[in-house]
Amino acid sequence: MDRRDFLKGTAATGVFTQAGGSFAASAEPRRERRIATEEAWSTAAHMRAMDELAALPSDNLDLISRRGVPTDGPLYRALIDDEERLRQMDELGIDMHVLSLTSPGVQMLPADRAIALAEQTNDRMAETVARNPYRFAGLASFAPQDPVAAAREMERAVARLGLHGFVVNSHTDNRYLDEPFFWPILEAAEALDRPIYIHPRAPADTMAGPFREHNMHAAIWGFQAETGTHAMRLILSGVFDRFPRLQIVLGHMGESIPFNLWRADYQFERRRERQRSSLVPSEVFRRNFTITTSGVEHDPTLRYCIEVLGADRIMWAIDYPYQPMAGALEAMNQARISDSDRALIFHRNAERLFHIPPL
Amino acid sequence: MDRRDFLKGTAATGVFTQAGGSFAASAEPRRERRIATEEAWSTAAHMRAMDELAALPSDNLDLISRRGVPTDGPLYRALIDDEERLRQMDELGIDMHVLSLTSPGVQMLPADRAIALAEQTNDRMAETVARNPYRFAGLASFAPQDPVAAAREMERAVARLGLHGFVVNSHTDNRYLDEPFFWPILEAAEALDRPIYIHPRAPADTMAGPFREHNMHAAIWGFQAETGTHAMRLILSGVFDRFPRLQIVLGHMGESIPFNLWRADYQFERRRERQRSSLVPSEVFRRNFTITTSGVEHDPTLRYCIEVLGADRIMWAIDYPYQPMAGALEAMNQARISDSDRALIFHRNAERLFHIPPL
């Protein structure tokens, strides 16, 4: 049995995960806690609301996309089936999912309905977490359509419901969180010391043009174009001077930003006097952002991101149910990284950022 | 003197360039030929045409951008000053620049004027190359506004003028080269066995929305969003099934595509039956694309791209005069890569792709 088979075997039984090979710090393989941090979840009420939206006449790419997938199919059923999720987690030895309401959350609904649905789904999420507090953590939704109401719900979600952070699905009505209109949300996240996970959605109507053919709008390309652009707007707008402790999480290895960070710094410095941020992009990115491995089971990319950002800024994620659990787990088990980096990425960074008590 | 200083010294004198350290294949440092492949150039007539365009009332991001830079300033003067260019090349020991008409070329002019200006600048470029055939090669411009005329000019540029390939500055009137309208251009490039360098410009009007604030539209982020999107459209549209030998060049380490290639393949395979291309994105990218290092002087990114694509798909570039020659040269000299990879990236790939005779 070669190393690959050995690791596959251990992944399947869940007995060991860290046969580090030449990277092992000790001879004894250790079983690291495994916390997956971008795991989509929903409720029947949320699914119904999305179906109603998708039935409206609209050329919005998120709605076009939704029309292509049956709500009663296996993909969407997996979002609301906590037992099936736990069964797969048990089978593979995955300790915890950090749940988040699936994209586009409540962000396409009228404000009053979005506020009510965010409250309702956060209540349901808190119940799910309470039933299995060692298996689930949760990121609260809010309605950016009404930032003051959003901030109120964010406080309730942490103080009353005990949730662990927040999720927002990129733009809201084609607007981005760097606009002062949304600052109550950034202020609340900073004050509550909980991160905002900026999850993808399809490119905003204001940039949708080139993404309308060849299925370009979704995970194959458009998601990172939209979400990376959102994050770069935050970085360049200077909001992190105003909210220096605000923490943002980006999935999919950072939505192309790590790859462009040297160039962004260079171009930023070239016209330093015109910039609105006091820090260069890489300083902001390494201080205020954490990326996750969701959707990317690729060792060279993981090692490159560790080299560029440091392992303390990377968390493991699957992107369940849009990607299966086994592949993401195997990729992380087999990654040619140090044991200490693997521990950071598998659980320690998530414990710190989301205030999940260590075991 | 440490290795860094030694290499700096050799870069400045131009005597040696390849002190490979632990990567050296032989004990004797070799002086590799250095061909820089994305070097902007212009003519006084082209500069005047751009100034006239910029004076028109328009919220197009390329024109807004141009209004910010004086045509008689040092940046634009450097585009048309061949002697100053050669002086700097001599000083640093740079053998050759592959010249291309600076962005957005002729693509924003009315078709008849664009056709005439492309011919005129190609003639001028051919004269520049003829005066210094060991120091300059050239990529011909064409007017995508009229694809049949463009194909005719492409043939003239290779057969009559001896130019080495073509440059297009991403979209033309918010349209992309995958549209059948433009196929005469792709067909001509394939038949002539010369690559098309897709150089950035600001995001198309149809995706410009989120790029209008914080200087987001240019090299700091928008250029790669626009140009990477263009290239992904080509890949996903299936045009490389129709033109399997067509070669495309992308600058700036591939405009984020190498970083997203694993995910693109995964998402492509997930819905294989709906795809228009018979090959997965990475197969197309490794067969039909070559990237350059323009604007990115970052060793981890270079090594990552070699790992993902192979060194035979990467060429050295500076992005002069938008970035200085010295930094790009130093980054390449100091890159922790093998001597054979350095030779491929410094000159061998460019010689093969652009039909530049080896020394």
Chain A CB contacts of B296 under 8 Å are 262-263
**CA B311 to centroid of chain Cα atoms:** 17
CB B106 within 8 A of CB B143: yes
Establish if A74 touches chain B: CB-CB under 8 angstroms: no
**C-beta atoms of B220 and A307 within 8 A:** no
Q: Which residue in chain A is spatially nearest to B239 when comparing CA positions?
A: A214
Mean pLDDT confidence for B45-73: 91
Mean pLDDT along residues B27-33: 69
What values do phi and psi take at B343, rounded to 5?
A: -65, -40
Residue type present at position B315: M
Which residues are registered as beta bridge partners of A36?
A97
Min Cα separation A256/chain B (Å): 6
Single-letter residue type at B355: H
Distance of CA A310 to the CA centre of its chain: 18
CB neighbour class for B83 (10 Å; exposed up to 12, middle 13-18, buried from 19)? exposed
* Other beta carbons within 10 Å of B18: 21
Q: Is B228 on the interface with A (CB under 8 A)?
A: yes
- In three-state secondary structure terms, A140 is strand
User: Which residues of chain B make contact with A319, given a CB cutoff of 8 A?
Assistant: none
**What sign does the dihedral B251-B255-B259-B262 (CA atoms) show?**
negative
Distance CA B109, CA B96 (A): 30
| Greatest Cα-to-Cα distance within chain B, rounded to the nearest angstrom | 61
What pLDDT, on a 0 to 100 scale, did the predictor assign at position A72? 81
Per the model's pLDDT, the better-predicted residue between B7 and A167 turns out to be A167
pLDDT of the residue at B6: 31
Please identify every stretch of chain A with a pLDDT value under 70, giving residue numbers as ranges: 1-30
Residues 22-51 of A with CB under 8 A from B: none
Q: What is the pLDDT of residue B76?
A: 87
pLDDT computed for residue B94 by the predictor: 98
What is the spatial distance between Cα B210 and Cα A206, in angstroms, rounded to a whole number? 7
Residue A75: the pLDDT is 87
Residues 156-175 of A with CB under 8 A from B: 171, 174
A158 closest CA partner among A129, A179, A183, A131: A129
Count of CB contacts below 8 A, A vs B?
Answer: 160
Sort out which chain B residues have CB atoms less than 8 A from A300's CB and list them: 304, 307-308
Chain B residues touching A276 at Cβ < 8 A: 214
Distance CA A99, CA A350 (A): 13
The arithmetic mean of pLDDT across residues B289-311, rounded, is: 98
For residue A91, how many other CB atoms are within 10 A of its CB? 13
- Specify the amino acid at residue B186: L
Among B254, B338, B261, which Cα is nearest to B294's? Answer: B254
What pLDDT, on a 0 to 100 scale, did the predictor assign at position A312?
A: 98
Q: A214 and B259 in contact by Cβ < 8 A?
A: no
Is B319 in the active site? yes
The helix (run of H) or strand (run of E) holding residue B74 is helix B74-80
Q: What mean pLDDT is reported for chain B?
A: 92
Our measurement of the distance from residue B187's CA atom to the centroid of its chain's CA atoms, rounded to an integer in Å, reads 20
Cα of A107 to nearest chain B Cα, Å: 18
C-beta atoms of B232 and A252 within 8 A:
no
Minimum distance, in Å, between the CA of residue A342 and any CA atom of chain B: 20
CA distance A20 to B55: 62
> What is the amino acid identity at position B221?
W
pLDDT at B341: 98
- Pairwise CB contact (< 8 Å): B236 & A225: no
Chain B environment of A172 (Cβ under 8 Å):
none
Residue B19 has pLDDT above 90, yes or no: no
Amino acid at A240: F
Q: Rounded to whole angstroms, how far apart are CA atoms A258 and A281?
A: 10
- Give the active site residue among A62, A95, A319, A341: A319
Cα–Cα distance, B74 to B242 (Å, whole number): 44
**How far is residue A105's CA from residue A43's CA, in Å, rounded to a whole number?**
11
**CA distance linking residue A63 with residue A56, whole number of Å:** 9
Q: What is the DSSP string of B121-146?
A: HHHHHHHHHHHSTTTEEEEEP--TTS
The residues near B199 (Cβ < 8 Å, ≥ 6 apart) are B38, B100, B103, B167, B168, B169, B170, B227, B251
Instruction: Give residue-wise pLDDT tens across range A266-322.
Output: 999 999 999 999 999 999 999 999 999 999 999 999 999 999 999 999 999 999 999
Distance between CA atoms of B33 and B17, rounded to whole angstroms? 9
Instruction: Give this prediction's pTM.
Output: 0.92
Listed in sequence order, the residues at least 6 apart from B309 whose beta carbon sits closer than 8 Å to its beta carbon are B254, B258, B285, B286, B291
Of the candidates B209, B220, B295, which has its C-beta nearest A204's C-beta? Answer: B209
Cα pseudo-dihedral B258, B262, B265, B270, rounded to 10? -150
Q: Is the pLDDT of residue B201 over 70?
A: yes
Among B85, B88, B95, residue whose Cα is nearest residue B40: B85
Shortest Cα distance from B277 to chain A (angstroms)? 10
CB-count burial class (<10 Å; 0-12, 13-18, 19+) for B272: exposed
